[in-house]
Structure 1
Amino acid sequence: MALSKVPDVKVNFTTCPICSEIFKSPKILPCLHTFCQTCIHQVVLSANHKKDSQTISAFSCPICRTVVNPRTYNKEAINIDKWAAELPDNISMDTMISFTQSNKKQECHACKRHEQTTEAKFWCKQCFEAFCEKCNSMHSWMKMLATHQVVLIDEFISQIDGIDLKAIEEQCRTHPLNMIDVFCYDHRAMCCSLCVSLDHRKCENIKSIDDITTCNDIFYGSLLEKIEHIKVVTQENLQTNHQEKETLRVGVEKTEDEASKFVDHIKRKLDNLFETFKKQLHMSRDEQNTKLNVRIRLLEQLVRNLEHWIKVSKKVKDDGSKTQLFMHVETIKHQIETSIKEITNINNDTTITAVYFVKNEKFQEVEGIDQIGSLKHVESVIGSELGNVYEACQDFGIYFPINLEDIKIKKVRTIHIPGSNLKCGVCFKDKYILLGDEGKVHLVDKSNGLVVKSFAVSEIIKRFCLDLKHERLFVSCHNTSLFYANFVGEAIKPPIKLNFSNHRKSFGALFCVEGDIYVVTNGAIKKIPSRDLSPASNLTECFQTNTNTDDTAGHNGLTIFNEQIYYTTTAKEVKCSTLEGHQIFSHKSNQIKMPVSVAMWQFGITAALILDKEPRGSLHALSVDGKKEIQLLGNFENVTDPWDMWVDIDEKEIYVAGGEYIDVYRVKFKSE
């Protein structure tokens, strides 16, 4: 695969990454990369050189490959010659260059317009103009300008960074009089309210940007750390590829040296054969170098882009609006997702080949030999080594599908609770697990398996669910009971029974999402708000489906991921639906006899884990689209009657409970 050389953006902050000279008429793209107007014009021409038309609908940033659409709001494409001129000016960069490159004092812009020359002392960040003391006083007297932020020129010069947030335009491109205030998850599109009413009426997953940023304030608060983490793990993969290349170089040199020593003992007649062998060896080396160079080039490119995102993200986070921050983050997500997908595609088609020299045992038969030896190729697949990058991207909200065949599962330990009959469990705080044992709840130290304390529940326990935000433990039981227990720190208060006036059926599996507790009932999925909970609270039906929570039906599974519900049914299926009940897929397999628990694995891969109770228990993985399923384990080491399974997101481990035992497993890639 051919790759154009990525410009080196580390030369100087005030130099164009294309021509490596001081910016001339700097133009800034939505990704916040800046170029000279003439340089970016050549990029636009290059993007269109294979087309006969004189118009172009978009082009890609030469550094991060963000797609740049027309700035104009009419629907007709812009003439190629006008594209660069239509791009927004980077006034911040232009001003910084004028301040740092000139030895003259900054003149007052207001006085200059009246053909007067006065040294400027102040800078207005809103007007983007310099003022002398007199003009600054007049500026502050104006009612419309009184709220503008004015700073000393020297202070402004020390703070200027060349990043102009005006490049992240908040106006709707379709309806320029409206501001972008809504995001459609179905189309991954920024919209205004008019766009929603005209083009997204049938979309089911639409939220206001203000609500998104408010609900995810923790995510945006750790934005820089998350991007930095992606950069770190990408650099680790980059270093791995450099090491692979060095290993290849050392191996080739060693192989060539062995061959050379062998040839030294052969008569002059074999010299031509030796040269042929060297050509074969070097061709093999060049082929491997080519593969590695492509991978290294993409990873280096991603690291440079991440460095840029970290820098500009700080600016957007500190000085930009919520909408700008959201739009900027979505741009980052898209570009990281595109880069990782491209690297993944190359990884899946790439192998590393080790080279060994094999001596020819028929050396004495010189006259009949046509080669001095052969190259032995030992291939090792390297396509799964991006697992840590996938995981870092998932923490940033970017998810990648991965081949289920590339994962394996390994047991790490067993926890034994003598005399128990474990039915369910959940990880609690950092160091504990809560276990349901008939009518008791055990608090167990997960590091040593010792029971710290226990308390009783008046009925036989079926399933657990934790609401960490409101510090509540929910417990579904056989018959028709649902309990909740408040906890403070590690102390759990006595459970309280909920009495629903509108529900007299039994409960099954539970899951908490944004303060709502979703629960499986007979023939429906229902929910109850955890925040305003009281013993007389009522359930709200989400949708009807073929579920059964009676004692004779055994236990069932429920988990929610990415606003989609995965649950088991009476037909031994695993169904996936939206929170409103629109079915996405229904999966039924001959390998799965009685699914009793479902959990989501989100580290390195994204897959639904399914616990099958029969005959002695097995563990399966299902792709998030429901199209592919594999068996991870045919049976468990100590658990022979499995009832529940859950994932420890801190330790990235899978717990399987049943009888007196809990087997703990960890997912690994085959290359690890």
Structure 2
Amino acid sequence: MAALANECDVLTCPICLETLKSPRSLPCLHSFCEICIGEFILSTERRSGHKLSSYPCPVCRTVVTPTNPDSDTSQWVLSLPQSKQNGQSESTKQECHMCKKQNNLNTATHWCRDCVDAFCNECLRLHNLMKFSADHKVVKIDEIEMSVSGSETELSLISDSCPIHKSKIFEAFCFDHQKLCCVLCLTLQHRKCETVHAFDEIHYLNKSSVLSSLESELIKMKSKVYELKEAIKFDKEKLDVIFTEMELNASQHVLCLKEKLDSLLDVFIKNLNLTRDEQRLSSEEKMEVVDKLSRYIEQLQNVSKTVQDQCNLNQTFIFFEQSKAELKSVVREVKDVINIKSVNNAEFIFSKTLDQVSSVESLGDIEFITSNSIDSDEFTRQLYPSKSALLDKSRHPLSYNNTSFKHNKTVNLKGFTIYGCVFVSETIVVLGGSQTCKDVLTGNIKTLDISTGNITSEYIIAETVKRLAYDFQSESLFVSCYSSKLHYLKFVKDFTAHVTLERISESVGGTCVFEKNVYVIVEKAVQKVSIEQLEKDVIPQTCFKTDNVCSSINGLEIDSKNKRLLYTSSDFGVVCSSLAGHTIFSYKDKNMKSYCLAIFSQGDILIGDHSGSVHILSMDGKQKRTVIKKCKKVVLIWDICLNKSNTSSVICGPDFIEIYDIVSTKQKI
């Protein structure tokens, strides 16, 4: 899978990490989704706060100059060359790594998964001639691209080769170390391990049992992963909004500060001009009175000369006294004016608050509140079901001696007498019986999720249900009733298409499904009918006679591995016969009263004793051991069933069902 990841890097957008959609290439040959690279360019411009003239490649930071710099930034992405939809443009074809080392440029056609290198045809020929690389896995690059695009399943990824000993294939599994092993692994690393089994010895291995739970888990996991992806996407979009709002708030704050500073500057200049005008007027007034004094002195000087030349003593004395008085008056006027305080010097003292702003190194701090919005442990817990085939260790095969039962839960279904049960998936069991509703006794079929103990659906039927069987291939549920009727319904998530098999008119009992046939005990005989022929009103075929009386409860199950039928006899024993009716063995214990049974994948038989105990009968019918001495709430056991993987069992009776986990006790081999 790591090799596949390396092979497919060129097909993945480095921004969204998904397969390229409408890919665009930069001059540095890195390709991105058109939307992704377009958003990257716009976000780069938003962060810069001005129109860009160039932008960096998101991967290698190479500066890219657009061919249309005068166009709107949102249109720059349209000028980028388109990559080919198959994942690589001509300019980004995969180069041959060996040729590149020799400074030659050739297009690679094949990829070696072991070397993790690309080769052209000539270099591939040399690669295949070398002994150490002759057995390497080589695939065509075109096939890899087709697989990644989803148009074809990459079956070549499924390999049974041992990654350590490349010439060997896996043949066994070590349950002690939970490791797949080839012959050399077993010899060198697992010689002393106690529980190592060849694949053929693991009886529960079959495609349906291995993959059914896996497929259902993968569907749920895919849903959880999608929810995680949506949660991450939501957080990303939320952060984008927060950062955008933060950028807007910062810009608005700075704008407000600028407006405030501009306002302060306007007030300052206005006040400064007012003061300047006041001081200019004061100075002019002083200059005016000083000039007046100067002119008066000059006038006195001129008059004094005239008086000296032309006036007598009396006139001179009068002039002197008058001049003296007027001069004192003018001087006093000057004194009053120049005595007014005025500004003779000025100094601008910058506001200490604003002075602090000039020394600020950043606009502010961003306080990040970090938390795990998605708890990884909780996500892992939700990703895997409580009983996960992907999370749990693979258990070593069940056998007659190592099988044990562990009580999981008891479910109270008060008023519901349960006569039959069958698993329709690893965790869903169908229950059938009778229930009184408004003083009327009717048949009832319910589905229950054993992981939660909750009823998930319900279906009312006229007759009391006796036994159930389910065919996974056709998704059909077969229901035998006390009224000598056999019904079948389609069941996927709910019950649909109810059909009654009118050709069966005698009392019916246990029923099971095998190889597209439904087998049913019909009044002292086992009959079968093809599932494909059910709607054609065909007459069931009698397989063989039995001693069963179907007026009471009896069990019928198929041992798929050994192709044989097992059923409970009229004397409450267990009979094993071939499909043709030849008795293989019969088992009878006078202390047991058996109405029901179930078959393990390896062929051992699980028997429910009517008294409330559960036993395992070996596949040859010669040994019996008790696995449940007494059920906790089920007083009378009417039926018992196993899921396909043999990991869970349901025991039912009046009002209650009990769910047990089946575990294997470690046995030394």
TM category, shorter: 0.3 to 0.5
If you compute each CA radius of gyration, which structure gives the higher value, 1 or 2? 2
Q: TM-score, normalised by structure 1?
A: 0.43
Q: TM-score, normalised by structure 2?
A: 0.43
